[in-house]
Amino acid sequence: MTSWLLVVPMLLWQAPPASFPEVVAKDLPAAPRGPMPPHVPDAGAESGPMGLARRGARSGPSIPALQLPAGNVRVKDKVPDISGWRAYAIEVPGGGTVKVHVVEGRKAWFRVLGVNAWGREEAGLLQNRIPTGEPQATYKNLGPETHTIYFIVDTLDINMVGEAYTLEVTRG
């Protein structure tokens, strides 16, 4: 009985969340360029008129991207339009790492894709391939020069226009 008295407070006590500066996506500058659309199946695709509109919105030459600031940051954003995705550009110095994770909102309805400017994976990118409900991706710059990587927050449902989420960017 006394062991439960010691265990319960330990289970209830949690470390406070990391306090990252928060920015609102509308305050972020546009990146000089965005990535090309990645060649991944659209998890929110459907065959009706809305599906056709989503497919058309995703077929452009590139995805407009927002430039993320240096350091750790939390970004409050919303799904901007019917395409269901938003791209973020981040500069990663040689040997540096970055993790992008949707931490608030309907997390299980999002996925995070890490791509290069051509919309493809490259060495150092780790994707969350198994749907765990934790939308996140990481990148480790294996080279000596600073490299621009794009993280795309993608929706898994077609009816998510205006859906709010918070993105946490952790640099290492």
Report the 10 Å Cβ neighbour count for 144: 9
Examine the pLDDT at 10 and tell me if it is beyond 60: no
Query: Average pLDDT of the chain?
Result: 87
Torsion of CA 111, 112, 113, 117, to 10 degrees: 140
pLDDT at 44: 79
User: Residue 9 has which token pair?
Assistant: 């407070």
Task: Quickly name the fold that domain 23-171 has.
Answer: Jelly Rolls (2.60.120)
43: CB partners within 8 A, 6+ apart: 111, 154, 155, 156
- Give the confidence band of 168 by pLDDT, cuts at 50, 70, 90: very high
Per-domain residue ranges for the chain? 23-171
Over residues 36-61, the pLDDT tens digits come to 999 888 887 888 898 889 998 998 89
pLDDT at 18: 54
Report the 10 Å Cβ neighbour count for 82: 19
Higher-confidence residue of 128 and 61: namely 61
pLDDT at 60: 83
Over residues 103-118, the pLDDT tens digits come to 999 998 999 999 999 9
pLDDT at 3: 54
- Of 11-20, 82-91, 153-162, the one with minimum mean pLDDT is 11-20
